[in-house]
């Protein structure tokens, strides 16, 4: 009884945390997505492991156990799809061989995806079995319950789960739209999405991100469109035309609902992820021509394995997203230049070569960091170009937060320290200010005028970062 009371107090302290941010009380469970840690703590106390194992090792054991479930789910999925256990063994072997690309468990144990993806793998395995034709009643109920439980758990474990489920819902929508699966089963999955979103909204402290998610808009649009859907499951030209119109209707209602929800529901949504999905996936799904050319129901074979077709469509959509992102990435041999902290993140997340790192026990790296930081100083484009090319840099990243930093104390900002080090600070009548015949480089380069455009070409920008390709020039221009 005492341990339960202490546990309740601990949860309350997490949801009303005033010891992390000064003068502010935050809900650490919601803002830091600590649901996996809460579950682990409950299991730790309920299993009586306090006297057997340290909490940190118990936590690590759970995460590695989930990875075992992850691999098992992949094995089952391949077995169900192929009908042979050999395919499952090949999948597991391929997963292990490519583990550096398939999981970050080796170097990032507490990552949310290490908790969430095993449940998503279970959901996909159960959904694969659920979509099979001629499935006996008990197996179908088991798969349905497993899909329900794993979908909700996946949504609780990862704050970005509804985006991945949105891609899955689009796959099911296309599967149903072209009569490649049983409509009743697909709509049951839609109901699971709705129930999981509703329950997640309540238990995640009224998480408004779920209300404005594209998943909710799509499923609601599908439910509304079902009332207007005509008999489109036959092979006539008119029915095929109606299928395309139905797809267009669903997507139109989805975009409209999402726009209205975002207008009337207060939210702090991750707009960059939502816009990425809308631009890279949402607009492209309005074109039904490739599927119309591929799907031929009169052949009598395409619709016999709906679980296979689902995986094909789901894989194609995820592959399109990956290729759209890859198309905007830099060459493999690219070298990036920017602040050391950002370079450390780029190196960890992409593996690209960088010009500096946030390491301060090496004199050469310290000098490199000081030189690279000159991109925020008042120096000429030619000077900066020579510095960057001396380190073989191909791309330059300007951080707006550093360039436009407004600190409470003057003289402590990065650009202030650079001005002092470069002798660009002038003191007059007790006041000091920065002066140079050149403007601040990080500001001037954004103006896109000569000589900056001769040395640098902007290839990407948003509200936080400006990425420039460093050109190859023969002669310098001042």
Please state, in angstroms and rounded to a whole number, the distance separating the CA atoms of residues 288 and 144.
Answer: 29
Could you read off the pLDDT of 283-332 as tens digits, one per residue?
444 444 443 444 444 444 545 677 787 777 877 887 777 656 544 556 66
What is the pLDDT, as a whole number, of residue 220?
86
Long-range contacts of 346-350 (CB under 8 A, 24+ apart): 346/397
Please state, in angstroms and rounded to a whole number, the distance separating the CA atoms of residues 444 and 440.
Answer: 6
Share of the chain residues as helix, strand and coil, in percent rounded to the nearest 5: 65, 5, 30
Please state, in angstroms and rounded to a whole number, the distance separating the CA atoms of residues 268 and 250.
Answer: 26
DSSP per position, 224-274:
HHHHH-----S-SHHHHHHHHHHHHHHHHHHHHHHHHHHHHS-----HHHH
Contact 196, 169 (CB under 8 A): no
Q: How far is CA 410 from CA 19, 175, 375, 414, 422, in A?
A: 28, 60, 19, 10, 17
Task: Provide CB contacts within 8 A for 253, sequence distance 6+.
Answer: 220, 221, 224, 225
- Residue segments in the chain with a per-residue pLDDT below the cut of 70: 1-9, 18-24, 26, 31-32, 227-246, 248, 262, 264-304, 322-332, 360-362, 407-409, 426-433, 474-478
Query: In a 3-state reduction of DSSP, which class is residue 352?
Result: coil
Contact 461, 455 (CB under 8 A): no
Tokens representing 283 are 């607009």
Could you read off the pLDDT of 327-354 as tens digits, one per residue?
455 666 788 999 988 888 887 777 788 8
What is the pLDDT, as a whole number, of residue 323?
59
Helices (H) and strands (E) in the chain, counts: 23, 7
User: How far does CA 420 lie from the centroid of its chain?
Assistant: 40
Tokens representing 2 are 């005492």
Pairing outcome for strands 431-434 and 456-461: unpaired
Pairing outcome for strands 425-428 and 395-399: unpaired
Tokens representing 312 are 């094909």
Judge if the upstream peptide bond of residue 451 is cis by omega within 30 degrees of 0: yes
């Amino acid at each position: 009884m005492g341990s339960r009371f202490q546990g309740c107090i601990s949860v309350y302290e997490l949801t009303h945390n005033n010891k992390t941010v000064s003068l502010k009380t935050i809900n650490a469970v919601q803002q830091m997505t600590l649901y996996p840690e809460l579950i682990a703590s409950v299991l730790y106390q309920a299993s009586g492991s306090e006297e057997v194992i340290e909490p940190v090792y118990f936590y690590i054991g759970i995460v590695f156990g989930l990875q075992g479930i992850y691999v098992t789910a992949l094995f089952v999925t391949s077995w169900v799809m192929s009908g042979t256990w050999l395919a499952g063994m090949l999948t597991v072997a391929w997963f292990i061989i490519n583990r550096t690309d398939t999981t970050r468990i080796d170097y990032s144990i507490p990552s949310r995806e290490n908790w969430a993806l095993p449940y998503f793998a279970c959901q996909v395995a159960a959904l694969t079995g659920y979509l099979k034709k001629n499935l006996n009643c008990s197996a179908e109920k088991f798969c349905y319950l497993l899909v329900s439980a794993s979908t909700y758990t996946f949504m609780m474990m990862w704050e970005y789960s509804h985006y991945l489920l949105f891609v899955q819902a689009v796959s099911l929508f296309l599967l149903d739209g072209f009569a490649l699966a049983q409509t009743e089963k697909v709509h049951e999955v839609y109901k699971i999405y709705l129930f999981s979103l509703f329950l997640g909204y309540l238990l995640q402290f009224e998480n408004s991100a779920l209300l404005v998610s594209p998943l909710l808009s799509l499923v609601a649009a599908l439910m509304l469109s079902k009332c207007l859907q005509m008999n489109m499951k036959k092979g006539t030209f008119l029915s095929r035309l109606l299928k395309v119109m139905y797809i267009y209707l669903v997507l139109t209602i989805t975009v409209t609902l999402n726009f209205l929800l975002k207008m009337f529901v207060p939210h702090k949504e991750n707009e960059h992820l939502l816009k990425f999905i809308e631009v890279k996936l949402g607009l492209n799904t309005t074109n039904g021509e490739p599927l119309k050319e591929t799907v031929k129901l009169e052949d009598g074979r395409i619709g016999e394995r709906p679980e296979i077709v689902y995986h094909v469509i789901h894989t194609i959509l995820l592959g399109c997203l990956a290729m759209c992102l890859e198309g905007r990435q830099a060459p493999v041999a690219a070298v990036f230049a920017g602040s050391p902290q950002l370079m450390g993140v780029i190196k960890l997340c992409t593996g690209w070569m960088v010009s500096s790192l946030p390491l301060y026990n090496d004199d050469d790296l310290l000098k490199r960091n000081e030189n690279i930081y000159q991109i925020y100083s008042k120096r000429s484009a030619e000077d900066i170009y020579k510095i960057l090319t001396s380190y073989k840099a191909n791309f330059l990243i300007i951080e707006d937060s550093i360039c436009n930093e407004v600190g409470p104390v003057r003289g402590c900002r990065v650009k202030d320290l650079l001005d002092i080090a470069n002798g660009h600070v002038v003191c007059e009548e007790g006041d000091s200010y920065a002066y140079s015949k050149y403007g601040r480089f990080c500001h001037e380069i954004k103006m896109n005028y000569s000589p900056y455009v001769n040395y640098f070409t902007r290839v990407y920008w948003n509200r936080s970062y400006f990425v420039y390709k460093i050109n190859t020039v023969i002669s310098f221009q001042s």
